[in-house]
Structure 1
Amino acid sequence: MNNRQQELLRIILMNEEVALHIKDLAEQLDCAEKTVRNDLDRLEEFLHDYPNAKLTRRPGFGISLEINEDERRQILISLFSSQPKTNEERLFEMAFQLLTNKKSITLQFFADRYFMPKAAIKKDIETIIEWLQRFDLVLVSKQRLGHVIEGSERQKRNALARLSELTPSSSQEKNYVLQLFLPYEISAVKKALVDMRDKFSLAFTDEALESLQIHALIMLKRIRQRSPVSIQPSEREMAAKRKEYHYANWFFEQFEPIFQVIIPEEERVYFTWHLISSKRTEEEAGQVYQYDDETASVVRTLIDRLSKLIVVDFATDSTLTNGLAVHLHSVINRMKYGFPITNPLLSNIKKMYPFMFNMVILTLEEIQQTYQFDIPEDEAAYLVLHFQASIERMESKKALRKKALIVCHLGMGMSYPLEAKIEQQYQDIEVHACIGKAEVNEYVRLHRPDFIISTVPLEKIKVEHIVISPLFGQEDQRKLSQFVEKLKRQKHDFQGPYIFSKYLTEELVFMKVEREHRYEVVEMMATSLFQKGFVNKEFIHSAVNRERISATAIGGGIAIPHGNPALVERSAIAAAILKDPIDWGNEKVSLVFLLAISKDNQGDNRGIIGKMASLSESPIVVNMLTTVRDESEFLRILEGN
Structure 2
Amino acid sequence: MRKRQQILLRKLLLADGQVTLVQNLAEELDCSEKTIRNDLQVVESFLEEQSNGQLIRKPGVGVSVEISEDEKQNILSLMQTDNNVKRNVLGVVEQKEILYRLLIHENISIQQLTDRYFVSHTTIKKVIEEMETWLKTRNVQIQTKQKVGIVVKAAEKDIRIAIQQIDYFKEKKDSSSFSFVYQQVQEHERRALDQSLLTFISHYQIPLTDESIKSLKIYMIVMMKRLKTNHIIEISKDRVSFITKKQEFQWIEKLVEELEDIFLIKVPDHEKVYLTMQFLGAKFQERHEDVSASVDKQAEWIAEVLTKRLSVLALMPFGNDETLKEGLKVHLYSVLNRLTYELPVQNPLASDIKQMYPFMFDALITALQDMEEELPFKIPEDEVAFLTLHYQASVERIRGERQLNKKIVIVCHMGIGVSEILRSKIATSFHETDIIAILPQNKLQTFLKERSVDLIVSTVPLDDIVIPHVTVTPLFNENDKNKLRNVLKGKVESQGVSDSILKSYLKENYIFLHLDIEHRFELIEKLSERLVHDGLVETDYGHQALIRERAAATAIGGGIAIPHGDPNLVRESTIVVVTLKEPIIWGTESVSLIFFLVLKQESSDKRRRLFHQLSRLAGNPEKVAKVTGVTDIDEFLAIMD
Q: Alpha-carbon deviation of 1:235? A: 0.7
Q: What is the rounded CA distance, in whole Å, between the counterparts of 1:621 and 1:402 in structure 2?
A: 39
Question: Which residue pairs with 1:109 in the alignment?
Answer: 112
Per the alignment, residue 67 of structure 1 pairs with: none
Larger radius of gyration: 1
Distance of aligned partners of 1:580 and 1:120 in 2 relative to their CA distance in 1, 3 Å threshold? closer
**Matched residue SS, 2:496:** helix
Amino acid at match of 2:16: I
Identity of aligned residues (%): 30
Q: Specify the alignment match of 2:230 in structure 1.
A: 226
Please list the CA deviations of residues 306-335 of structure 1 after superposition, one character each: whole Å capped at 9, or x if unmatched: 122212221111111111111122223223
What is the deviation of 1:5? 13
- Paired residue for 2:395, among 391, 398, 416? 391
**Does the residue aligned with 1:375 lie in a helix, a strand or coil?**
coil
Q: 1:310 and 1:43, CA in 2 relative to 1: closer, same or farther beyond 3 A?
A: same
Cα 1:521–1:147, aligned 2, differ >3 Å: closer, same or farther? same
Provide closer, same or farther for how the CA distance between residues 418 and 122 of structure 1 changes in structure 2, counting only shifts above 3 A.
same
Could you say which residue in structure 2 is the equivalent of 1:256?
260
Is residue 2:495 matched to residue 1:525?
A: no
1:361 and 1:370 mapped to 2: Cα distance?
Answer: 15
Q: Paired residue for 2:134?
A: 131
Could you say which residue in structure 2 is the equivalent of 1:320? 324
More displaced, 613-622 or 382-391? 613-622
Q: What do residues 113-154 of structure 1 show as CA deviations (whole Å, max 9, x unaligned)? A: 222111111111112111111211000222332111101000
Q: Does 2:263 match 1:265?
A: no
- Offset of residue 359 of structure 1: 1.6
Say whether residues 1:426 and 2:426 are aligned partners: yes
Compare 596-605 and 299-308 and name the one that shifted more. Answer: 596-605
User: Any idea what the Cα deviations from partners look like across 1:144-201, whole Å, max 9, x if unmatched?
Assistant: 3211110100000111111111121656512111111111222222221111111111
**Partner Cα distance (1:289, 1:541) in 2:** 40
Once the two structures are overlaid, the 10-residue window that deviates more, 546-555 or 351-360, is 546-555
How many Å apart are 1:290 and its aligned residue? 7.3
Q: How far apart are the structure 2 equivalents of 1:178 and 1:587?
A: 29
Using the alignment, how far apart are the partners of 2:341 and 2:606 within structure 1? 40
Please say which of residues 209-218 and 164-173 is displaced more in the overlay. Answer: 164-173
TM-score (norm 2): 0.73
Map 1:586-625; keep pairs closer than 5 Å.
588-616=590-618, 619-620=622-623, 623=626
Which amino acid in 1 is paired with 2:428? D
Residue 427 of structure 1: SS of its match in structure 2? helix
Deviation at 1:345, TM superposition (A): 1.9
For the residues of structure 2 that align with 1:364 and 1:76, how far apart are their CA atoms? 62
Q: State the alpha-carbon separation in 2 of the partners of residues 497 and 425 from structure 1.
A: 25
- Shift of residue 628, structure 1, vs aligned partner: 5.6
User: Could you tell me how far 1:253 is from its partner in structure 2?
Assistant: 2.5
Answer yes or no: is 1:241 the counterpart of 2:245.
yes
- Indicate the residue corresponding to 1:381 in structure 2: 385
Cα distance in 1 for partners of 2:376, 2:69 equals 61
- Gap change, CA 1:537 and 1:353, over 3 Å in 2: same
Aligned match of 2:146: 143
Partner of 1:479: 478
Q: 2:219 maps to what in 1?
A: 215
Q: Which residue of 1 aligns with 2:546?
A: 544
Q: Given that residues 189 and 213 in structure 1 are in contact (C-alpha distance below 8 angstroms), is that contact kept between their aligned partners in structure 2?
A: yes
CA 1:76–1:584: 2 relative to 1, 3 Å: farther
Residue type matched to 1:88 in 2? V
1:576/1:260 CA distance change after superposition, 3 Å = closer
Greater CA drift, 219-228 or 240-249 = 240-249
- Amino acid of the structure 2 residue aligned with 1:497: S
Q: Give, as a single letter, the amino acid of the residue that structure 2 aligns with 1:564.
A: D
CA deviation vs aligned residue, 1:333-355 (integer Å, no higher than 9, x gap): 22332322322222322222121
Whether the 8 Å contact between 1:154 and 1:229 is mirrored in structure 2 is: yes
> Mind listing any 5+ residue stretches in structure 1 that lack a counterpart?
15-27, 32-38, 48-73, 404-415, 434-469
- Bigger RCO of structures 1 and 2 (CA < 8 A, at least 6 apart): 2
Letter in 2 for 1:473: T
The counterpart of 2:560, out of the listed 551, 558, 561, is 558
Aligned pair in 2 of structure 1 residues 107, 242: CA closer, same or farther (>3 Å)?
same
Cα 1:200/1:626, change in 2 over 3 Å: same
Using the TM superposition, give the Cα deviation of residue 396 of structure 1 relative to its aligned residue in structure 2, in angstroms.
1.5
Equivalent AA in structure 2 for residue 474 of structure 1: V
Aligned residues of 2:429 and 2:493 also touching (Cα < 8 A): no
Q: Return closer, same or farther for 1:108/1:537 CA change in 2, 3 Å cut-off.
A: farther
The TM-score, its normalising length taken from structure 1, stands at 0.73
Q: What is the aligned-residue RMSD (CA, Å)?
A: 4.2
Give the number of equivalent residue pairs.
Answer: 536
Report the AA paired with residue 147 of structure 1: I
Distance 1:256 1:621 in 2: 55
Is 1:360–1:380's contact at 8 Å kept on the other side of the alignment?
yes
Whole-angstrom distance in 2 between the partners of 1:516 and 1:387: 36
Q: 2:496 aligns with which of 490, 501, 518?
A: 490
Report the more deviating stretch, 159-168 or 268-277.
Answer: 159-168
Change (3 A) 1:589 1:298: same
- Which position in structure 1 is the counterpart of 2:464? none
Separation in structure 1 between the aligned mates of residue 344 and residue 476 of structure 2, nearest angstrom: 28
> Is 1:11 equivalent to 2:16 in the alignment?
yes
Partner of 2:415: none
Match of 2:156 among 146, 153, 177: 153
Correspondence for 1:203: 207
Deviation at 1:289, TM superposition (A): 6.8
User: Is the contact between residue 570 and residue 599 of structure 2 (CA under 8 Å) also seen in structure 1?
Assistant: yes
In structure 2, the CA distance between the partners of 1:160 and 1:9, relative to structure 1 (3 Å rule), is closer
Instruction: Check if 1:347 corresponds to 2:351.
Output: yes
Cα shift at 1:394: 0.4
User: CA, structure 1 residues 594+288, in 2 after alignment: closer, same or farther (shift >3 Å)?
Assistant: farther
Superimposed CA distance per residue, residues 538-557 of structure 1 (whole angstroms, 9 cap, x where no aligned partner): 43233234334444333454
Whole-angstrom distance in 2 between the partners of 1:175 and 1:108: 28
Q: Aligned-pair distance for 1:372?
A: 4.7
C-alpha separation in 2, matches of 1:155 and 1:249: 24
Q: Distance in 2 between matches of 1:584 and 1:577?
A: 14
1:275 aligned residue (257, 269, 279): 279
Amino acid at match of 2:324: L
For the residues of structure 1 that align with 2:527 and 2:584, how far apart are their CA atoms? 16
Aligned to 2:170: 167
1:578 equivalent in structure 2: 580
Kept in 2: contact 1:80–1:115 (CA 8 A): no
* Shift in CA distance, 308/257, structure 1 to aligned 2, threshold 3 Å: same
Distance 1:601 1:432, change over 3 A: closer
Shift of 1:274: 0.4
Distance 2:13 2:583 in 1: 53
Say if 1:343 and 1:80 are closer, same or farther in 2 by CA, change over 3 A.
farther
- Structure 1 residues 634 and 566, CA gap change in structure 2 (3 angstroms): farther
1:565: Cα distance to partner?
A: 3.4
